[in-house]
Structure 1
């Protein structure tokens, strides 16, 4: 069982069906990994083991009597923000330390109905408003590839737990890059669906910048999980009908792909650019015509407008529940947003206006020119400390460049304004200091299958050897100890 930590869900399912693996033994092995990583990576908000072990026994019975479901017996990581009835849900805040979820998020219902076993609750930053993952409640979650560095956020606990080998599937959520940033920094795959593809939680129907989505170590597992999560749910009136994604894809012959490494930003790190170019060469070998286009987007403006829109539809309203007397319990980055909300009402209108302008630019230079997909990096630098504090340290310096510490290093926010665009984050390799790098694969509104087709060919090209030939040091050390 020593290698089970990095076995894909697709393989687990095949071996469960063949009777060569037992769901109970797999869960027990992963629990050991989950407990061991906590001393270094610290990606667990809680472990929910009693119910999980009962579900593993049920999975064993179902395989024996031929009633196994699509994800029967597969352990799953659940982001703390994603509600599971009866599980703690404080949103990493001491202010809400006693809160417990009263009902499941729709995607949890879908996972349970498919036979998956949610058991590992992963960390997120307080109120999910930071691109790293640390809080007063949970401490610092670190990157398994390089412990001093950030695992990203706000789904950083899910990304780190995947990289640490505690389960093959994880949930994430994304309102400014919170799936794509940790997916890229942890070397895994993540999908930000277009709004309406997955059922949202009740009350989030107008929070269109934000969506839930799957995170996995392998491309095939991403398809598997997305096909389970997507589509209507009885509690949602915004979800579109869903046709499952194919499980196999042809090459890219005849496809034209546009790329802009960083929307014209000159501070893109050389190692991220190098890995991106290698990935694009892999797509060319698969038959695609890949050409650079010029996009000159003002990232600072995009970030400011997106954050103002999030304040208007979510953040300010949420922060009103926090009394001034409780402010000392907040992390500095959360309190800064709370204080900002007292300065006056925010508006969603600039987000709508800027989103329309960005789409017109994409149409003029990409979709209207016959390109079917667009690719860019996920961030400008990976030189990000795990405990980076944008309030105390408002500027990040790396290799002669300076970045605004909150979102100034991120290339993800444009596609939260363009929130009907599907965006898939895929790993591209390791940076010079051992942290994974990633790229975003983008398609026009609701064209999910195109981003999966491109990602399938990227995976086949082998441009990234992460979790194939290269594994995080925490795993290598564990294997050495076993040997």
Structure 2
């Protein structure tokens, strides 16, 4: 197996090789670190890497396999998002405002990765405070999409998605408050899962915000399912957790008799025709698998989506505004804009967000009563600039201007947070930008989205298996690839 083939080896396949002694965790980690060394000057997805610790952990994993003591993720490289704590390592949240000192505790999600034998060989880049659908910061520079380096990998789990697409990690953790797992997964052509709220424990205080979720990111549905089984389950530290549920398991691929609802715009978004066309071609695979497709017209509106953003400004935004009040001179322009919007938010916005979510659920409930899934694009447009700044870049669909928060179609399912959502690759545009498809399940029906996702994955033959199916990342010097973040970051309060 070539070094690049090793770097793109799936988690489930790697575990099978470990079990059969045809590959060791040490060999896999060595290939992964070499791949990161080769791709990072362009992609800049993993700003903090721990090669020595990772190799030592890989040797320990190899010994556990030899002793027959392997755990579910034993020896697999996992990129940990730079927004959650790992004891002994600093967490920057992509911000110059955060102290560069080691964390004294490990977040629950990360503790579960470690307990399962996953090896955190790197931290993945995030926009400052995870508040953008692109990934650049004054702390780490510009993270780029491996498929088209001039474009963004999405956000806020942009580094995680880019690293997966570049072959510099096997698995990655993600978090999703407005689509931050699904949006970058779609833009980088990988798989991302937003579990139902409460399925995966989170840390205070945002564990109590129903919009907030943590979940797995991978290059395959099977790998995402493997990791989700490790992350899921209640924890005494999180009172919002759902009760224990059965682990997800592979199911037959036949979708005969399934009714699947399809919405190209969720009623509330302007969507690029090429994105919709690519998504429709992927949808045809589900029809070939025996499902009946029903196009639906949801009466959701832009005002409802705006109410969801108001909710985020009332909570998450206030946290950013607090940082801006004392350290705004160090912050990026997009974080300061978010903070300023939060300062203008009022108590009535919270009530409006609850009313909007209730109205959206009332419209969606009858659709989901007759359909096992709702399918929609994950992004409204195919690509945005890697170094996006509103004063330098205009975003438009068919000549009509859109805002940066109009580029993703993910927020509705943070508002309706008990619906599980799996983002899977749908194909690529003529320019080469990946497009993602959201598979939205019924309330708490995790198994349905994975069953459909596995069937779809098997039908299309998976992704990244052949060299021809992987991004060709050009060789560049780091100075050329990751320039200082643009003038947008110099905005002051």
Does the TM-score normalized on the shorter chain lie above 0.5?
yes
Alignment CA distance shift 1:385-1:321 (3 Å): closer
Per-residue deviation, residues 145-198 of structure 1 (Å, max 9, x unmatched): 011111000000000000000122111111111101100000001000111000
Per-residue deviation, residues 413-457 of structure 1 (Å, max 9, x unmatched): 111100111111010111111010011000121111111111112
Partner of 2:240: 238
Partner of 1:339: 340
Alignment CA distance shift 1:383-1:399 (3 Å): farther
Partner of 2:76: 74
Report the CA distance between 1:313 and its aligned residue: 2.4
Q: Distance in 1 between matches of 2:124 and 2:398?
A: 32
Q: Secondary structure at the match of 1:72?
A: coil
Per-residue deviation, residues 192-221 of structure 1 (Å, max 9, x unmatched): 011100001132232110111100001110
Q: Does the alignment pair 1:139 with 2:141?
A: yes
Q: Does the alignment pair 1:387 with 2:387?
A: yes
Spell out the pairing of 1:277-426 with structure 2 (5 A cutoff).
277-299=280-302, 301-324=303-326, 326-343=327-344, 345-346=346-347, 347-364=349-366, 366-368=367-369, 370-390=370-390, 392-393=391-392, 395-404=394-403, 406-426=404-424
Structure 2, unpaired ranges of 5+: 477-493
Report the CA distance between 1:344 and its aligned residue: 5.2
Alignment CA distance shift 1:276-1:371 (3 Å): same
Report the CA distance between 1:412 and its aligned residue: 0.8
Report the CA distance between 1:250 and its aligned residue: 3.4
Q: Distance in 2 between matches of 1:465 and 1:344?
A: 43
Q: Distance in 2 between matches of 1:323 and 1:312?
A: 16
Q: Secondary structure at the match of 1:162?
A: helix
Q: Distance in 2 between matches of 1:11 and 1:410?
A: 32
Spell out the pairing of 1:196-235 with structure 2 (5 A cutoff).
196-235=198-237
Q: Secondary structure at the match of 1:172?
A: strand
Alignment CA distance shift 1:40-1:411 (3 Å): same
Partner of 1:439: 437
Partner of 2:470: 471
Report the CA distance between 1:269 and its aligned residue: 2.0
* Contact map agreement 1:90 1:100 (CA 8 A) in 2: no
Q: Secondary structure at the match of 1:143?
A: coil
2:124 pairs, out of 113, 122, 125, with 122
Report the CA distance between 1:318 and its aligned residue: 4.3
* Contact map agreement 1:303 1:407 (CA 8 A) in 2: no
Q: Distance in 1 between matches of 2:190 and 2:126?
A: 17
Q: Distance in 1 between matches of 2:245 and 2:474?
A: 37
Equivalences, count: 471
Partner of 2:96: 94
Q: Secondary structure at the match of 1:407?
A: helix
* Contact map agreement 1:187 1:466 (CA 8 A) in 2: no
Deviates more, 1:47-56 or 1:25-34: 47-56
Q: Distance in 2 between matches of 1:341 and 1:313?
A: 8
Alignment CA distance shift 1:71-1:464 (3 Å): closer
Q: Secondary structure at the match of 2:469?
A: coil
Per-residue deviation, residues 106-162 of structure 1 (Å, max 9, x unmatched): 111111111111111010000000000001111110000011111000000000000
Alignment CA distance shift 1:15-1:122 (3 Å): same
Report the CA distance between 1:393 and its aligned residue: 4.8
Per-residue deviation, residues 251-278 of structure 1 (Å, max 9, x unmatched): 1111111111112468422221222111
* Contact map agreement 1:282 1:463 (CA 8 A) in 2: no
Q: Distance in 2 between matches of 1:467 and 1:327?
A: 45
* Contact map agreement 1:217 1:467 (CA 8 A) in 2: no
Q: Distance in 2 between matches of 1:467 and 1:20?
A: 18
Report the CA distance between 1:99 and its aligned residue: 4.5
Q: Secondary structure at the match of 1:234?
A: coil
* TM-score after normalising by structure 1: 0.93
Per-residue deviation, residues 337-394 of structure 1 (Å, max 9, x unmatched): 2223333545422222111110100123x123x111100001111131111123x257
1:262 pairs, out of 231, 240, 265, with 265
Q: Distance in 2 between matches of 1:444 and 1:474?
A: 39
Partner of 1:109: 111
Structure 1, unpaired ranges of 5+: 478-483
Report the CA distance between 1:297 and its aligned residue: 2.2
* Contact map agreement 1:84 1:104 (CA 8 A) in 2: yes
* Contact map agreement 1:428 1:464 (CA 8 A) in 2: no
Q: Distance in 1 between matches of 2:204 and 2:331?
A: 26
Alignment CA distance shift 1:463-1:349 (3 Å): farther
Alignment CA distance shift 1:218-1:200 (3 Å): same
* Contact map agreement 2:275 2:380 (CA 8 A) in 1: yes
Q: Secondary structure at the match of 1:70?
A: coil
Report the CA distance between 1:463 and its aligned residue: 7.9
